[in-house]
């Protein structure tokens, strides 16, 4: 009874594995699969007769569960580890593709567009780094890594270099932006500080000569000539004298205001004389 259950489980795993691989993995031609299986045999040393555990050891797979999940197998089923690839309906090439996907997140059959999406990296940058002509052209986007003779490991190194350059580029942009902002603030503060000098009030020039109300010189500049002082004193004297004369003229011609009605009371009115004559 146990053998029947085990056989049914194995058949179900094989069917589900084939369905899962057909969905996740791209279509592989028989000639390509045979050629790659020969290369895998010479490079890794396993065939389809090897068990899952042996293949995982040959491929140096650390996360076996994710590798089995990509193959469409039950990840926690330990019994499958003792079954051969042939019994599970898995070719050595598909096992290698599953190993690449579990390690890199893409395989050698992934297109450049799929690789760029998995790495969150501009596809144009990948085309530039691998040396393709006209990287702006979209004709290369549907080419697989295998057709371009590029290994997933080389793409991984390109991605690592891109991340390192992106970090340095981001730091440089940040520093340049901060320096630009601080320089603009410094220049603005200098300009605002200089605006105070534009509206400065005119300085009152100090007098080179100070004279007391009595006409005596209190202070004079050392460079001022005595003849100039005498001329200034004479000018001031003449000016004051002219003012005094103008005041006297104004007082001479000034009249005292009088009331004509009061003044007329002191005169003999004509009616009065006529009145005395009639009497």
Q: Domain coordinates of the chain in residue numbers?
A: 1-104, 172-196, 209-252
Strand duo 217-220 + 209-211: pairing: antiparallel
Share of the chain above pLDDT 90, in %: 3
- H helix intervals, the chain: 2-24, 30-43, 52-58, 64-70, 85-88, 92-104, 112-119, 123-129, 152-194, 226-252, 260-265, 270-278
Question: What is the overall mean pLDDT for the chain?
Answer: 75
**Residue-wise pLDDT tens digits, 219-232:** 666 666 777 777 77
Distance, CA of 72 to CA of 13 (rounded, Å): 8
pLDDT in tens, 172-192: 788 888 999 999 999 998 888
More confident residue, 255 or 216: 216
Q: Indicate if the pLDDT at residue 55 is higher than 80.
A: yes
Average pLDDT rounded to a whole number, residues 134-153: 86
Q: What is the model's pLDDT at position 192? A: 83
Whose tokens are 């140096």? That residue is: 60
Mean pLDDT across the stretch 48-73? Answer: 87
DSSP letter, residue 83: S
Share of the chain above pLDDT 70, in %: 67
Residues 74 and 271: their CA atoms lie apart, in Å, by: 153
The pLDDT value given to residue 2 = 44
pTM to 2 decimals?
0.49
The sign of the dihedral angle between the CA atoms of 42, 44, 45, 49 is negative
């Amino acid at each position: 009874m146990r053998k029947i259950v085990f056989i049914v489980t194995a058949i179900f795993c094989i069917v589900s594995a084939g369905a899962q691989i057909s969905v996740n993995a791209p279509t592989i031609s028989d000639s390509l699969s045979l050629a790659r299986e020969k290369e895998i045999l010479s490079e890794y040393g396993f065939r389809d007769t090897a068990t899952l555990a042996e293949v995982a050891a040959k491929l140096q797979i650390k996360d076996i569960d994710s590798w089995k999940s990509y193959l469409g197998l039950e990840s926690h089923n330990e019994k499958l580890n003792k079954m051969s690839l042939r019994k599970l309906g898995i070719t050595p090439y598909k096992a290698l593709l599953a190993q690449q996907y579990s390690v890199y997140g893409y395989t050698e059959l992934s297109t450049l567009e799929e690789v760029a999406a998995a790495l969150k990296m501009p596809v144009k940058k990948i085309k530039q780094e691998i040396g393709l002509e006209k990287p702006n052209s979209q004709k290369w986007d549907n080419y697989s890594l295998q057709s371009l003779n590029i290994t997933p490991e080389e793409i991984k190194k390109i991605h690592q270099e891109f991340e390192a350059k992106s970090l340095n580029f981001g730091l440089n942009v940040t520093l340049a932006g901060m320096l630009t902002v601080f320089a603009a603030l410094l220049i603005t503060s200098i300009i605002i500080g200089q605006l105070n000098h534009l509206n400065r009030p005119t300085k009152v020039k100090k007098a080179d000569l100070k004279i007391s109300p009595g006409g005596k010189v209190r202070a004079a500049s050392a460079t001022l000539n005595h003849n100039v002082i005498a001329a200034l004193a004479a000018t001031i004297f003449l000016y004051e004298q002219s003012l005094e004369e103008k005041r006297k003229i104004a007082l001479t011609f000034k009249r005292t205001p009088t009331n004509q009605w009061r003044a007329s009371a002191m005169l003999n009115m004509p009616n009065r004389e006529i009145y005395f004559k009639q009497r």
